[in-house]
């Protein structure tokens, strides 16, 4: 583990020196965070362009990285964030091992140590740990709070004091702020606790814990209601709008639901694949069968959290037709804890055989050499190049619309305003997307240029507004592999 952690920190040092090459390793969505945090540090509020307010982010991660932009800038800020995320990863490694240890307190010491080591080691070699596809995203912070929340709830008993419920309330609120959809993850476990112990629960303390969680989240909810009249994030609405229209065209209004269901079934198994190459499915099922009469409520809570993770991926799949890599990565530590605990349960109080340890070692090797994540995002390279080669040729002070606008926004000089057009970080666009008149939005907001890949622009023209670019003409084309990067200019602006 020490070798893996050392490598992770060394990798952070390497990545922090890549400068513009970071666009190959950091997803465009992360640059949304960087741009918003930078503007927030400058006193421009939660906005990617300094003009339009946005709630298309998860607030705790944004607040966590804002100080890096308040006290530094450019690559120095990104270097700090990369080191910060590496440090969180290292904490998670130890939490995985220690959580498995606590669950297997009564197991044979050899089995317990083996399970701890393998679970933690698998996180180190898991896809994305070395070159994390979610670098710069909220993933690691969310994963940390998931494990902390599990460690707190597993201590539950009806006679717990007020301090237990206070800490659980704080962790619940912070988990929801880390990723606002985490209520789906914890719902099965909380529902089971409420039903299983309904006659024994100290309901005054439960209400107190719930009130604490609500107070932690309340400022975010109030801010959203004041600025947007809704607590629903624009990113959730925008992605779902595009996905539903696309699938309706591809599979028909009825067939799309069958397809979405198939996608959901496939996606709920991804955390098992990404964390243990699927072996954890077998070990968990075996542990359930062998210990079906065991009434340990902390194990039930762990299993229900795993079920909550699968439910979360299913819901995302049903409403958008796909899931991002980081939706799976944030669940990997939780599923590795489940794997470690199930290994200890299967071995019991008798030391595991040497053959069993060799087999577990092969699992690690399979995870290292077989499962290869998509860590280098070559399609983003022309996005970075466009800032260097294309923007200087456009009128200074102009507004430039783009659908994938994170990299453009972060690297563009302040003399340009990059306006997000897909609604992910621009709530003003959402009504126009719903009514299929993006053309009117471009007119209302005086967008002088539109730039993006031809395939991306064509998707919005075909699905939302065929008149989107009626007032624009092609200024430049830049072929790139299987697609073409195009810059459109408003006709009257020529």
Residue whose tokens read 């980081």: 326
Q: Where are the domains of the chain?
A: 2-369, 378-493
Residues 61 and 41: their CA atoms lie apart, in Å, by 14
User: Which parts of 42-181 fold into alpha helices (H)?
Assistant: 59-71, 74-103, 109-125, 139-153, 162-178
For the packed helices 109-125 and 74-103, what is the interaxial angle rounded to 10 degrees?
160
Which of 29-33, 376-380, 412-416 bottoms out in mean pLDDT, i.e. has the lowest?
A: 376-380
Give strand pairing partners of 287: none
Classify 26 in phi/psi space as left (phi over 0), alpha (psi -120 to 50) or beta.
beta
Question: Cα 257 to chain center, whole Å?
Answer: 24
Is 56's pLDDT higher than 50?
yes
pTM over 0.85: yes
Residue 487's H or E segment, with its range, is strand 483-490
Give the architecture (CATH level 2) of 378-493: 3-Layer(aba) Sandwich (3.40)
Give strand pairing partners of 474: 488
Residue whose tokens read 């690559």: 75
Q: Residue range 453-469: average pLDDT? A: 91
Output 367 or 180, whichever has higher pLDDT: 180
% of residues, the chain, pLDDT over 70:
87
- Tokens read off for 239: 């992605």
Residues 25 and 381: their CA atoms lie apart, in Å, by 10
Q: Please give the pLDDT value at position 114.
A: 86
Classify 446 in phi/psi space as left (phi over 0), alpha (psi -120 to 50) or beta.
left
Give residues with Cβ within 8 angstroms of 428, minimum separation 6. Answer: 52, 441, 445
Give residues with Cβ within 8 angstroms of 109, minimum separation 6. Answer: none
Distances (CA, A) of 267 to 125, 310, 316, 414, 468: 21, 8, 9, 40, 34
Residues 428 and 445: their CA atoms lie apart, in Å, by 10
Residue 414's H or E segment, with its range, is none
- Tokens read off for 345: 């349960």
Q: Convert the pLDDT of each residue in 83-113 to its tens digit.
A: 888 889 889 999 999 999 999 988 888 888 8
* Contact by Cβ (8 Å): 452, 261: no
Residue 478's H or E segment, with its range, is strand 472-480
């Amino acid at each position: 583990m020490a070798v893996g952690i050392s490598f992770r920190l060394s990798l952070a040092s390497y990545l922090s020196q890549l400068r513009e090459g970071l666009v190959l390793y950091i997803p465009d969505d992360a640059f949304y965070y960087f741009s918003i945090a930078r503007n927030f540090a400058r006193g421009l509020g939660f906005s990617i362009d300094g003009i339009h307010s946005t709630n298309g982010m998860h607030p705790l991660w944004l607040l966590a990285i804002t100080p890096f932009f308040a006290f530094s800038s450019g690559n120095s800020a990104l270097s700090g964030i990369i080191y910060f995320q590496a440090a969180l990863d290292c904490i998670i490694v130890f939490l995985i091992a220690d959580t498995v240890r606590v669950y297997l307190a009564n197991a044979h010491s050899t089995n317990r140590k083996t399970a701890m080591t393998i679970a933690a080691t698998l996180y180190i070699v898991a896809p994305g740990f070395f070159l994390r596809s979610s670098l710069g995203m909220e993933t690691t912070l969310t994963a940390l709070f998931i494990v902390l929340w599990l460690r707190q709830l597993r201590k539950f008993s009806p006679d717990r004091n007020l301090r237990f419920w206070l800490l659980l309330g704080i962790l619940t609120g912070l988990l929801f702020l880390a990723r606002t959809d985490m209520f789906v993850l914890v719902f099965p476990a909380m529902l089971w606790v409420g039903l299983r112990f309904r006659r024994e629960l100290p309901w005054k303390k439960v209400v107190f814990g719930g009130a604490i969680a609500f107070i932690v989240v309340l400022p975010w909810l109030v801010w959203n209601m004041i600025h947007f009249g809704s607590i629903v994030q624009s990113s959730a609405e925008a992605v779902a709008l595009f996905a539903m229209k696309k699938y309706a065209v591809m599979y028909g209004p009825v067939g799309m639901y069958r397809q979405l269901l198939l996608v959901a079934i496939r996606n709920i198994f991804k955390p098992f694949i990404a964390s243990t190459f699927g072996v954890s499915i077998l070990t968990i099922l075996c542990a359930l069968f062998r210990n079906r009469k065991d009434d340990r409520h902390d194990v039930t809570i762990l299993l229900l959290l795993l079920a909550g993770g699968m439910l979360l991926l299913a819901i995302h799949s049903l409403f958008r037709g796909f899931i991002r890599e980081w939706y799976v990565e944030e669940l990997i530590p939780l599923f590795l804890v489940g794997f470690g605990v199930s290994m200890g349960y299967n071995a019991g109080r008798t030391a595991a055989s040497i053959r069993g340890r060799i087999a577990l070692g092969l699992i690690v090797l399979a995870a290292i050499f077989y499962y290869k994540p998509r860590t280098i995002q070559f399609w983003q390279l022309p996005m970075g190049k466009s800032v260097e080669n294309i923007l200087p040729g456009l009128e200074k002070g102009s507004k430039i619309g783009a659908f994938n606008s994170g990299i453009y926004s972060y690297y563009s000089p302040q003399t340009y305003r990059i306006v997000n057009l897909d609604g992910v970080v621009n709530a003003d666009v959402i009504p126009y997307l719903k009514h299929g008149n993006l053309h009117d939005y471009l007119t209302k907001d005086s967008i002088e240029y539109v730039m993006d890949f031809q395939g991306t622009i064509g998707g919005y023209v075909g699905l939302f507004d065929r008149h989107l670019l009626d007032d624009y003409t092609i200024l430049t084309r830049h072929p790139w592999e299987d697609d073409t990067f195009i810059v459109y200019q408003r006709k009257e602006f020529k």
